[in-house]
Chain A
Amino acid sequence: MIAKVLKQVLLAGIGALAASGAIAQGKDSVVICQTLEPPILDPSGGAAAAIREVTYGNIFEGLVALDRNSKIIPALAESWETSADGMKYIFRLRKNAKFHDGTPMTSADVKFSFDRAVAPDSKNAQKWIFQPISEIATPAPDVVEITLKQFASDFLYGLAWGDAVIFSEKSVTKAATDPVGTGPFRFKSWNRGDRLTLERFDGWWGAKPALGNATFRFIADPQAQVAALLAGDCDAHTNIGAQEAVPQLKADPKLTVTVGRTEGETIVAMNNAKAPLNDVRVRRALAMAVDRKLVNEGAVSGFGTPIGSHFSPNHPDYVDLTGETPFDPKKAKALLAEAGFPNGLSLTLRLPPPAYARRGGEVVAAMLAEIGVKTSIEPLEWPQWLERVFRNKDFDLTIVSHVEPMDLNIYTRDNYYFGYKSEALNAAFQKIKSARSDAERKAAFEAAQRQIVQDQVNIFLFMLPKVTVAKKGLSGLWEHAPLPATPLAELRWQ
C-alpha cells in the first residue's frame, strides 16, 4: 500500500518535473547567459559592452542597425537618402514606431537623442559618431534631415552602433535602471548580480517575435558557465570563457557549439607615456618576444585569429601585418640592449578578470621572461582595473580585448589609457574619414594600420573568439559578433 502511494507520488513528481521542464523551455521563453553584467542599462551612459549585449536591438534601437553579417539595415528609419556630396542625410522614420510607454517615436526624439549625445555633460562613449553633425532639422514628425559639417565616410555606420539609439525625452533620465526604448522587448525586472528579464513589447513596429519572455543571466566564472550549460540552467551562453571545455560541450547531445569571431582585438596594452615603455625600441623588443600563435593557444585554446595590428580581419580593408613583428627573441634581446637594458627590466602586468587575460598574462609573462623582462602579475577585478589602469593609467602592461568594432580611432584619442600620440596617425585617420572612394579608404586604412605597428603602440595578439553554446532547438543566435549584441527578436525554438 505504502509502496503504491509512494510510486504514485513519485510518478506525479516526475510528471510535474517533465511538465515544468516543458514550460521552462516553453518555446516562448529563453534564458540567455552571458559573462558580464551591465553596470547600467543606458547605452549612452557608458562604454561597457555588456550594456549593448542586453539592450541593442532588444530594448533600444537606432535609426539604422547592423545585422549579423555587419550589413547596415533599416531600423527606426525605414529608408534614407544621401546627397551626392555625402554631406546631407534624409531619414524617413517608421510611422508606427513607438516607445514602450506608448508615446510615438518622432523626429523630435531623434534630434533630442543626438543633441544629448554631444552635450557637454554627455557620458556617451562614442561621441565621434555625432561630431560631424552640423544641423538636425525635423521638417515632419517622420522626417529627419541631418547636415554634416565635415564629410565622414563612417557616419551611417556609426549610427548603427548601440551608442546612437533613440531615447524619449520623457523617460531618458531613468534609462540607467528602468530603460524605455522602442525595441521589440521591454524591460521587466533586474535582480542585480543575477538576472534581468525582458518581455515582448506588442506595440513593436516589426514582425512579432517568437519569444514572449527572455532572461539574461550573468555568470562570470568560466567553470560555472560550463556547469550551468551542462545542467541546462542556460538555454544559451553567448560567449563562454572556458574555450578548453569546447570538446566536452560538443560531446553533449543536448547542446550545439559554434565558434565565431568577435570584433575584440585582444592586445597587450603598453603604457606609451611612461618610461621605459615610452621608448619604441623597448616596445618593439617586447612585441618580438611574444609568440602570438602560442598565446592564442594558451589563452583561448587556439580559437582566436592572430592579428598584427589593431584591426579586425573581418573588415574588407584589413591588411595582415602579423609578419611585421615576427617572434624573434634574439632580436628582441638585442633591441633591449640597444635601448639601454642589456640586463633586462622589471614591469607590472595588471590583469582584468577574463580568462583570456589571466591565462594570456601567464603565457606572455613566461615569454617576456625569456628575454630577461621580469613581470609582476597583479590580478584585478573590473572596477579596480577601470580605476587604476584605464582611468589613472597606473600600469606598465595589461591585457584587454577591445570589443567595439572599428575602434582604430582610440589611437587618435588624447589622454587614452595607453598614452599614445602621433600626428602621422591622426593625419591617416583624417584621410579615412574623408575618403570618398573604396580605394582611397582602403589606402588610408592600410596607412593607419601600418602606423601603429611602426610605432609598436601595443602588442597585438588575436581576435577574441565567440564560442556560443546553445540547447539544440534554439535557433537564430548570432555566430559572429559584428558588435556586442544578442538580438532576441531573431531567436526561436524549433
Chain B
Amino acid sequence: MIARALRHPSFLIGAVLSLLICTVALASLFWTPEDPTKMRILMRLKGPSAEFWLGTDQFGRDVASILMVGARNALLTGLVAVAIGLGFGLMLGVMAAQMKGRWIDDAIMRALDFVFAFPAVLSAILILTFLGPGLVNAVIAIGIFNIPVFARVARGATLQVLARDFIRAAQLARVPKLVILRRHVLPNIAGLMIVQASTQFALAILAEAGLSYLGLGTQPPNPSWGRMLNDAQTFLAMSPRLALLPGLAIALSVLAFNLLGDGLRDILDPRLEER
C-alpha cells in the first residue's frame, strides 16, 4: 500500500502540501517572525522586506505572521468541524444501518436529509445570526452541516459490510452486535470515512474563510484568512498583495486536502486493492 501511495502523484502532492501547511500551523504555536497582532501603524502597507517577509497590512502588522496563525485557525476549524461531523455522522449512520427497515432508520435519515437540503454556508449564516458571530459558533455551524454527509456515507458503507458473509458467520456464532460493529464493521468502513473526512476538511476551511469574510467567523484580532481577504478589498489598488496572499493560502489548502482525499480514495479503496 505504501508503495502504491508513493507512486500516486496527486496523493504525494496533496500529502506534501498538507504536511507543509500543518507544519506552518504548528510552528506558529511556538514561533512567528513577529507578533501577529502587533500594530505599527506608521509602517502600514509596506512591501516585502528583510524585516517583514511578506510586507505589512493596513495596520502595519506582519503579514507572514498573520498568515501563519491564520493557518492554525483554518486547520483548527477543519479539525473540529470534521470531528463533529464525523463523530455524530458515523454514530447516526451506523445506527441507521443497523436499524434498517425500522422507523428509527427512516427518522434519522429523513432528519439528516432535512439538514442536508440546506446549502451549508447559507445555513451556517442562519445559525450564526442566532448564536452570534465568532469562531467557536462558526465551527459548530460548519460541523452540524457535516453530520449528514458522514452519516450517509457511513450508512451506505455499513449496509454493504453487513451484507457480507463474514458478518453472517459472526452473527450465527452469536457474537454480540457491538463487538461485530467494532471488529468487523468499523475497520471496513474506516477507509471511506477517512477519504470523506479529507474532502470535508477542505470544505470546512473554505466555509470558515467564507464566514469570516462575511464577518461572521473569526473575530479580530484573531487572524483569519477570510477576514484578511475582506480587509484587503479597499486596499486592492494599493496593495494587491494583501488579497493575493490569503487567497493563495486558502486555495492551496483546499487543493492540498482535496488531492490528499483523492489520493487516499484510490489507495484505500478495497476494490482497487483486490485487483
Contact = CB atoms under 8 A, between A and B. Distances in A.
Interface in B22-42: 37-39, 41-42
B39 A363 contact: yes
A396 to B, nearest CB: 15
Chain A, interface SS category: helix
A379 interface: yes
Interface stretch (B112-120, B155-163, B231-239, B256-264): B231-239
B237 A298 contact: no
Contacts of A361: 220
Nearest to B216: A379
A99 to B, nearest CB: 43
A445 to B, nearest CB: 32
A32 to B, nearest CB: 21
B141 to A, nearest CB: 17
Contact of B234 (A245, A366, A378): A245
A427 B246 CA distance: 55
B37 A366 contact: yes
A36 interface: no
Interface string A236-268: 000000101101100000000000000000000
A294 B238 contact: no
A244 B220 CA distance: 20
B59 A366 contact: yes
A351 to B, nearest CB: 10
A378 B235 CA distance: 23
A169 interface: no
B133 A378 contact: yes
B232 to A, nearest CB: 10
A415 interface: no
B87 interface: no
Given A363-B41, A366-B37, A222 B234 contact: yes
Contacts of B219: 376-379
A382 B100 CA distance: 51
A242 B234 contact: yes
B46 interface: no
Interface residues of B, number: 20
A359 B58 contact: yes
A242 B32 CA distance: 30
Interface string B208-238: 0000000100011100000000000111111
Chain B, interface SS category: loop
A223 interface: yes
Given A245-B234, A369-B37, A298 B59 contact: yes
Nearest to B219: A377
A297 B234 CA distance: 15
Given A294-B42, A363-B59, A248 B132 contact: no
B237 A366 contact: no
Contact of A244 (B38, B215, B234): B234
A226 interface: yes
B184 interface: no
Contacts of B234: 222-223, 226, 242, 244-245, 355
A168 to B, nearest CB: 42
Contacts of B58: 244, 298, 359
A379 B216 CA distance: 9
Contacts of A453: none
Most buried by A among B133, B215, B220: B220
15 contacts: A223-B234, A226-B234, A244-B234, A248-B237, A297-B42, A298-B44, A298-B58, A362-B220, A366-B39, A366-B59, A369-B37, A376-B219, A377-B221, A378-B132, A379-B219
